[in-house]
Chains A and B, each alone.
Chain A
Amino acid sequence: MTKRWTALALVLWGTALTGTALTGTVGATALDFGVSYHGGAQGGGWARVGVSDFPALGGRVSAGLSTRAAEVGYGRSLALPPLGVVTARVDAAVALTGGVRMSSRLGGSVGPVALNLWAAGFSTSAGRIDPLALWNFDATDSRERGVAADLRARYRVSRTLIAVAGGEFGGQNMGTVGVEGRRELTRTLPPEEGAQPGDEPETEPVGTLTWRAGVRAGQNVLGVTGGVSYAAESGLNLGLDALVGPKAFGITGSVDAGELLGPGSSVRLYAAYEPWRTTTTPLRAGLAATRPLGGGEVGLNVSGGRSVDGTTGYGARLTYTLPLGESTQP
């Protein structure tokens, strides 16, 4: 099969690509700097310096040292354009106050199927490594110790319909099944000069409407889930998801404002109210913004939340990421 793809690809690229010899390398390794302050029960400052995506051992290594922990990670992937990718990743963090967190992730997609497996074991909470972690948009397990696993599968039934199934295990075991659909919003372009009579008219995408529907069932949660997203070509992205059950209710929403702060920038506002969650922070909200600055990217993150026991916390973080060497990021 590969041979035939290759033959087809060859013709294709041969037709598409002509020019001078191909040279050069990818500059992707980056230095990361961050400082934060957070208030609440165990408030205080935090600072971190690290390196990410350093090519080594056939993959990419990341490492960091903060005022709270030492971290190292290794990821490796095999891309098979245009069919899919297989990625594997392990991360470890040692808290300076004692305790470790280890996690590994294996993900792969080939054609219409995608699988994602994640497992973690820890003897210190996520908040002791990264004080703002518990207020992320995606719910983070806030337990002090334990094991957790996450399994997700996606199958593309047709171009516009995806079947999803997953399970979360650890502090609060649950399973989910559902479907995702979407509708491409396009506008037809006027015919080009010199277009052949048989040519189909070219269309230009203006946005995408995505919907989600499913069921979530497990410990202390049973409900139907539904959501809708709108993504405009400008980069604006709106999302709203809800869970409704006999004894459970939850709602999450986010707004990505696109390049509001100039080319290459991003602004995201999010809020999540999920009182049915028993091992993660049920109420979370935040604002995250990035923009290019002096060859790198500066980021500001302000977030906060209220935990299961009713204590509130908040924090602000300033980060700077500096790519080393040539960056070809568009």
Chain B
Amino acid sequence: MSNPPKLTSILALCGVLLIPSASAQTAQDIISKVDAAQKAARDISFRLSGNASLESSPQKIDFTVKSIPAQNIARLQFNAPDALADNIVVADKNEIRQYLFLTNQVTVTSTKKAADGAGFGGLDFTQLSSVASLLSQYDVKLLSTTGTAGKRLYQLEATPKKGNTTDKTRVFITEAGWRPTRIQIVSSAGKSLADLNVGNYKVNSGLSVTGLKQLPKDAEIVRQ
């Protein structure tokens, strides 16, 4: 963290210092451990479900994520909201494919081009090489630690270093497996914008690249 320490960070640090030294963790330690756990995994899959007020009214969000980190491939499949259900996004190092259920189309966008675009593509995919480098654009602090040794639950809060959003992202990390269990997005006013639980978290369940890339074969291909 290169930014000057803020009061909240200092308070958080004080909190950390109060924890017995044997289990002392900084936000950076936790990120490193999650990063290492993910890099060690051949494949990862999980389901994110909960509510989000991405537009005006809160709506149900439910999707599954499957990934083979070493191959830079990830697949996201929506179950809810209804408007997005059955839509699939597959991203690899070359391209992002999107299956649209309503129109039975598959859009193909180069990952490079997507970095300049909107939507999920508005992300700079070149920064996704690791959780650590991803979070380098954020100020991350440890909000709280609960639970007993071996089953501790850490709550991290990420605030963007730049950009015009003041929304904060909170991620709950369990010490058991060093994986996220819950993700919250909170506005600066403290209003919950999204609250998603991570379920069905599986590591090394034998996912294949072909399986992750599979999209309906009769769909119309639209190349951007």
State the A residues within 8 Å of B (CB): 1-26, 28, 53, 60, 75-85, 87, 107, 109, 111-114, 116, 154, 156, 158-159, 162, 192, 194-196, 198-200, 202, 231, 235, 237, 256, 258, 266, 326, 328, 330
Nearest CB in chain A to that of B96: its residue: A81
* Selected A-B contacts with CB under 8 Å, 15 pairs: A4-B185, A8-B183, A13-B123, A13-B128, A15-B131, A16-B69, A18-B38, A25-B112, A26-B108, A77-B224, A81-B96, A81-B119, A111-B83, A326-B94, A328-B94
20 additional A-B residue pairs with CB within 8 Å, beyond A78-B118, A266-B217: A8-B194, A11-B169, A13-B91, A14-B134, A15-B46, A15-B131, A18-B39, A18-B128, A19-B129, A22-B93, A24-B111, A77-B107, A79-B108, A79-B117, A85-B107, A113-B102, A156-B102, A158-B82, A231-B218, A328-B94
Question: Would you give the shortest CB distance from B30 to chain A, in whole angstroms?
Answer: 13
Q: A79-B107, A81-B96 are in contact. Are A196 and B183 (CB under 8 A)?
A: no
Contacts of A77 in B (CB 8 A): 107, 222-224
A18 lies within 8 A of B120 (CB): no
A4 lies within 8 A of B119 (CB): no
Question: Would you give the shortest CB distance from A253 to chain B, in whole angstroms?
Answer: 15
With the chains together, A114 CA to B114 CA distance in Å? 22
B119 lies within 8 A of A83 (CB): yes
Contacts of A198 in B (CB 8 A): 199
Q: What is the interface of chain A mostly: helix, strand, loop, or mixed?
A: mixed
With the chains together, A154 CA to B102 CA distance in Å? 7
State the B residues within 8 Å of A (CB): 35, 38-39, 44, 46-48, 52, 54-55, 65-67, 69-74, 76, 78, 80, 82-89, 91-96, 98, 100, 102-103, 105, 107-112, 114, 117-123, 125-126, 128-131, 134-135, 160, 163-165, 167, 169, 171, 180, 183, 185, 193-194, 196, 199-202, 205, 210, 213-215, 217-218, 222-224
B123 lies within 8 A of A6 (CB): yes
Contacts of B114 in A (CB 8 A): 79, 81
Q: A2-B118, A16-B44, A159-B85 are in contact. Are A82 and B185 (CB under 8 A)?
A: no
Question: Would you give the shortest CB distance from B115 to chain A, in whole angstroms?
Answer: 9
Contacts of B167 in A (CB 8 A): 3-4, 7
